[in-house]
Structure 1
Amino acid sequence: MVLVLVAVAASGAGCADAPPPASPAPAASGPVPCSPSVDLDGFSDTLETAAIDGRPVANLSALAARPDGTVLALSDRSVLFTLDAAAGRPLAARPLAGRDGGPLDSEALVVDTDRTLLVTSETGPSVGRHTPDGRWLEDLPVPAPLRVAPAGRATGNQTFEGLALQPDGRTLVASMEGPLAGDDPGLVRLATWTRERPGAPFVPSAQYALRPDPGLGVSDLVATGDGRLLVLERGFAPGAGSTVHLAVADPAGAPDVAGVDRLPADSPTVRTTTLANVGDCPSLGAITHQPQANPLLDNIEGMTITGRTPDGAWTLLLVSDDNENANQVTRTYRLTARLGPR
C-alpha cells in the first residue's frame, strides 16, 4: 500500500461476537496528536444512519475528494455515493457495473483528469473506467500474473485494494492487498500503468515490492504529487480488533519487479515510513460495538486528501467499512499529516 496512511484490517474483518450495538457516537473534534507527524482533527458517525433513494450508505471501501468540495464514496456492493463537503450527508447514489453488466467487488477509486472514474474490482481483478454517472466505458489491461488463479498468481479477495493517480495524470498505481503465490508472504506488489499524456491510453508499466508493517495489508493509496504515496494499512484480530497505520511510501530508487516471477524475502522494496498508529490517537469519546484496543478504530478502508494547511501539511479523510454488520460502524475520520521532505 507510497505516502502511507495505514489502516489495516482483514477483508470482512470486524465480525467478532460483541454486545448489542450502541447508538452512534456524536461528531467529535480535535485536533489532538496521534504521533509527532499526525493529528486527529475529529471523527463522525453521521453516515451510520444515512440513506438515499432507499440505499443505506454502507460498505464504503474508497473515497475521492472532488474539486467542487463534494466527496465520492464507493461501496463494495457496486454503488457510488456522492457526499456533501462535510462527508456527512449523501447527495446521490448511482449503481456501478462491469464490462458484462454484472456487479463489481469495487474497492478503490480515483477521478481522472477528464472527470471519468477509475474503479478497481477484486473480481478478475479489473480496473474499469466509468463515466461520472457510473456507466462502464473500458477496462485497463491487467498483467497476467496479477490475475486471480488459475489465470494468474493472485488470491481471490486479495487483489487491487488501493488506487492512486499522480496529479500529472500520467501514472496510475494500484496496490495488491495480498502477496502473489510464490512471493514472500510479507511482500505485496504495487502495479503501475503509464501514459504519454492525460487522455492517452494507460499501458501496464513497472511493479514495485512493498513490505507493510507486520500483520497488516494495504487498504488504500493516495498520491501526494511529489512521487510519494500515502498508504493505508490495516489488520484485524478477533477479540483484539483492528490495527490501523498511516505511512508514507517512496518508490524512487526501488527496482522494477514486473519481470520477477518470485519475490524472495530479501527483495529490495519501496522505502516506507510509518507516520502513525491510528490506535494511538485519543478516542475522543468514540463508541465501539465490538472489542477494540481503542474504541475509535473500526475497519478503515478508504482514504482521500482533502487539502493542505498553510504550513504544507496534508488534510485527510478516512472511512470505515461496516460490512452491513451491526457490530461495526460507518465512521469518517479527519487527520492532518506532516510528511517532511522527500
Structure 2
Amino acid sequence: MLQIHRLMTSGIIAFALTNYANAAVDLIATGQLSGTIGDRSTQTAAPLENGVAGNLLGGLGSGIAYAGCETFLAVPDRGPNAVSYNAAVDDTVSYINRFQTLRLRLRPAATGSALPFTLSPELRATTLLHTDEALVYGSGSAQSLPNGAPALNAREHTRYFTGRSDNFAAAHLSTWPLDARLDPESIRASNDGESVYISDEYGPYIYRFDRHTGRRIDVIKVPDSFAVSTLSPVGSTEISANTSGRVANKGMEGLAISPDGKTLFGAMQSPLLQDGGTSGAYTRILRIDLRTGKSQQFAYPLSNIGTAAKPKYPTISDVVAVNDHQLLMDERDGNGLGDDSTASFKKVFLVDLDHAQDVSQASGAAGLAPYALVKTLFLDVVSALTSHGFATADIPAKLEGLAFGEDVTVNGQRQHTLVIANDNDFLGTITDTHHPNGIANPNQFFVFAFSSTDLPGFAPQDLRKRTCDAGRDDNHNNNDQGHGHGHGH
C-alpha cells in the first residue's frame, strides 16, 4: 500500500512510491482543461468579429507562472485568430487580453499507473487586463470592421487591451505604451504576489499589472532597437517595411524573473530584423534590473534544424530563471498536433550569463557570433514524451509555457518540478490527416521532475509564503470587485 505524507506548509509533496524509479529529468504527470468551454469572464462571452465566443478558454500555454500553493497563472495570447475572416487585420479580433488563475493539483497515482502522479487542473479565476489611461484603438473603417474599442470599456469605465492588430498609433514606435493592441506571450508573478509581469509580441512590451484587478501599474522600458517604426495591422507588411526591430509575431515570447524578484529576462522568439530575422542564427536575451531600469543584451545561438546548405532555425517560446544568472530556454519547431505534422524538435537548453558579453551595441550574425552563449541540453521533450507512449502527431505543436512548480519527494528523494503547457490556438478540437475522425485539442500540462544534480544551482523563486489551506492561493480573488474578474468560484 502507498504510504503518503503531505507536508502542507513547506510546499513539498512527499510520497513513497515503490513502483517508480528515480531517473534524470522525466515526465511524472499530465493534465488538461477542455478547450471548448468558457472562462469565468462571462461579461466577455459575446461572439467576437469572427463568431468565436469572447471568453473561450484557450491558449493557456502561451505563458504560465507558478504563484505558490498549487496556484499557477496562465496567459493566453492575442486571442482566437485561427478562423479566417478578415486578412486586413491578420484575422485578429477584439479579444480582451486576460490571465487565468489555475489550481494544478498534483497527487499520487494508483499503484501500477503509467505515471507516478496525477495532475488535476482547475480554473479558479479570470482577470482582464486594462488601464486608466486613454488607449488608441483602430477605427476599423479601412478594414470594413467596427471600431476596435470593446463595448465593455464604457460599461466598466476603463480601457481594455485587446488582440486586434489595428489598435495602434502610426506616428509612434511599436513600443508606444498607449497602443491598445497586446499579444501576451509570457507571465511571471512578483515575489510579493501582488502583481504580474507580462511580455508581448506587438511592442515588444513588458507591462506590470495588479494581480487582483488586472490594472496596468507600470511599463518596463524595452530598448528602441527592439521596436519597429513603420506599423501595419498586417504582419507581412510590417516585416517588409522595416529593417530594424522585432519580426512581426516573433516578439518577446519568453519572460523570466530572478529568484529574488529583482531582475527580468526577456527572450525574443526570433532574431531581430537587424540580426537576420527568421533567417538569423542568433536571437537576443534582454536582462533588466527592475531597480534601475538598466539592461544588457546577450546573444543566444539557435539550433540549426535544417542543413548546412539550407539552415533552418526553431524559435524560442519561453524562458525560466534557474538562479540570478542561469536560464532554461524553450526552443522548438512548429510541428505536432495543431500543425497537421509530427513533432520533432522541442528542447530545453541551459545557458549561463555569467561572464557573457553584452551585445547591446552589436548587430548581425558577424557582430553576435563571437559573443554567443554556450548552451547545454537539459530536456528533450519529444524524446521524453514518446518514451511514455505519446505519438509524435499527438504532441502539441506549440509547447510554449514553462514554469517551475512545487517540489515533490519520490522514494525519499526530493525532486523539483518543471511544468510545460501548450498553446492550443483556441482550437478545442482538430481534424487533420493524422486524425481524420477528429481529436480533442485541450489546454495541456506536462509535469517533469528533476533533481538538484540534474540542475545544480537551482534556486526557486522567493515567493511570499502563506499557509496553503483547502482553498489554496486563489482566496484573494473571492471578494474582489475590481475591473476584470469573471466571478463564480
The residue number in structure 2 matching 1:330 is: 443
Q: CA-to-partner distance for each residue in 1:245-271, whole Å, 9 max, x for gaps?
A: 122111112100011133426332122
Larger RCO: Structure 1 or Structure 2 (Cα < 8 Å, ≥ 6 residues apart)? 1
The residue number in structure 2 matching 1:70 is: 71
Q: 1:47 & 1:32 partners in 2: Cα distance?
A: 31
Of the candidates 281, 284, 296, which is equivalent to residue 206 of structure 1? Answer: 296
Q: CA-to-partner distance for each residue in 1:180-209, whole Å, 9 max, x for gaps?
A: 1231501100011114xxxx4x51311000
Q: Tell me the TM-score normalized by structure 2.
A: 0.57
Q: CA-to-partner distance for each residue in 1:141-168, whole Å, 9 max, x for gaps?
A: 1101111354842211111000011112
Query: Per the alignment, in what secondary structure is the counterpart of residue 382 of structure 2?
Result: helix
What amino acid maps onto 1:120 in structure 2? S
- Higher Rg of the two aligned structures: 2
The residue number in structure 1 matching 2:289 is: 194
Of the candidates 192, 209, 218, which is equivalent to residue 130 of structure 1? Answer: 209
Query: Per the alignment, in what secondary structure is the counterpart of residue 322 of structure 1?
Result: coil
Q: 2:396 & 2:24 partners in 1: Cα distance?
A: 19
Of the candidates 168, 184, 191, which is equivalent to residue 113 of structure 1? Answer: 191
Q: 1:235 & 1:296 partners in 2: Cα distance?
A: 12
Q: 2:334 & 2:21 partners in 1: Cα distance?
A: 25
Which range is displaced more, 327-336 or 257-266? 257-266
Q: CA-to-partner distance for each residue in 1:100-133, whole Å, 9 max, x for gaps?
A: 2332211111112342111112121110111012
The residue number in structure 1 matching 2:153 is: none
Which range is displaced more, 89-98 or 149-158? 149-158
What amino acid maps onto 2:195 in structure 1? T
**Larger helix proportion, structure 1 or 2?**
2
For the 8 Å contact 1:220–1:302, the answer to whether it is kept is: yes
Of the candidates 147, 152, 156, which is equivalent to residue 248 of structure 2? Answer: 156
Matches within 5 A, 1:240-251: 240-242=341-343, 243-251=345-353
CA RMSD of aligned residues (A): 2.6
Q: 1:148 & 1:297 partners in 2: Cα distance?
A: 31
For the 8 Å contact 1:182–1:263, the answer to whether it is kept is: no
Of the candidates 249, 257, 263, which is equivalent to residue 165 of structure 1? Answer: 257
Change (3 A) 1:255 1:278: same
The residue number in structure 1 matching 2:146 is: none
Residue 331 of structure 2 corresponds to residue 233 of structure 1: yes
For the 8 Å contact 2:353–2:373, the answer to whether it is kept is: yes
What amino acid maps onto 2:32 in structure 1? D
Q: CA-to-partner distance for each residue in 1:272-319, whole Å, 9 max, x for gaps?
A: 111222111244455xxxxx6352343111110003456564301111
Q: CA-to-partner distance for each residue in 1:12-54, whole Å, 9 max, x for gaps?
A: xxxxxxxxxxxxxxxxxx9799xx7420112223343553334
Change (3 A) 1:319 1:32: farther
Shift of 1:337: 3.2
Query: Per the alignment, in what secondary structure is the counterpart of residue 401 of structure 2?
Result: strand
What amino acid maps onto 1:188 in structure 2? T
For the 8 Å contact 2:356–2:371, the answer to whether it is kept is: yes
Matches within 5 A, 1:1-342: 37-53=24-40, 54=42, 55-60=55-60, 61-76=62-77, 77=79, 78-86=97-105, 88-97=121-130, 100=135, 101=159, 102-103=161-162, 104-114=182-192, 115-132=194-211, 133-150=213-230, 152-184=244-276, 185-195=280-290, 200=291, 202-214=292-304, 215-237=313-335, 239-242=340-343, 243-264=345-366, 266-283=369-386, 284=388, 286=390, 293=392, 295-309=394-408, 313-325=415-427, 326-327=429-430, 328-338=441-451, 339-341=454-456
Query: Per the alignment, in what secondary structure is the counterpart of residue 225 of structure 2?
Result: helix
For the 8 Å contact 2:347–2:377, the answer to whether it is kept is: yes
Which range is displaced more, 243-252 or 90-99? 90-99
Which range is displaced more, 145-154 or 128-137? 145-154
Q: 1:322 & 1:168 partners in 2: Cα distance?
A: 32
What amino acid maps onto 2:382 in structure 1? G
Identical counterparts, % of pairs: 23
Change (3 A) 1:218 1:282: closer
**Larger strand proportion, structure 1 or 2?**
1
Query: Per the alignment, in what secondary structure is the counterpart of residue 45 of structure 1?
Result: strand
For the 8 Å contact 2:417–2:448, the answer to whether it is kept is: yes
For the 8 Å contact 2:30–2:446, the answer to whether it is kept is: yes
Change (3 A) 1:81 1:340: closer
The residue number in structure 1 matching 2:138 is: none
Which range is displaced more, 312-321 or 47-56? 47-56
Change (3 A) 1:37 1:267: farther
Which range is displaced more, 116-125 or 97-106? 97-106
Shift of 1:62: 0.6
Query: Per the alignment, in what secondary structure is the counterpart of residue 174 of structure 1?
Result: strand
Q: Tell me the TM-score normalized by structure 1.
A: 0.79
Change (3 A) 1:97 1:271: farther
Which range is displaced more, 57-66 or 268-277? 268-277
What amino acid maps onto 2:247 in structure 1? T
For the 8 Å contact 1:176–1:190, the answer to whether it is kept is: yes
Q: 1:296 & 1:236 partners in 2: Cα distance?
A: 11
For the 8 Å contact 1:190–1:208, the answer to whether it is kept is: yes
Q: 5+ residue gaps in structure 2?
A: 1-18, 43-54, 80-96, 106-119, 136-158, 163-181, 231-241, 305-312, 431-440, 458-489
For the 8 Å contact 1:32–1:39, the answer to whether it is kept is: no
Q: 5+ residue gaps in structure 1?
A: 1-29, 287-291
Aligned length: 301
Change (3 A) 1:158 1:31: farther
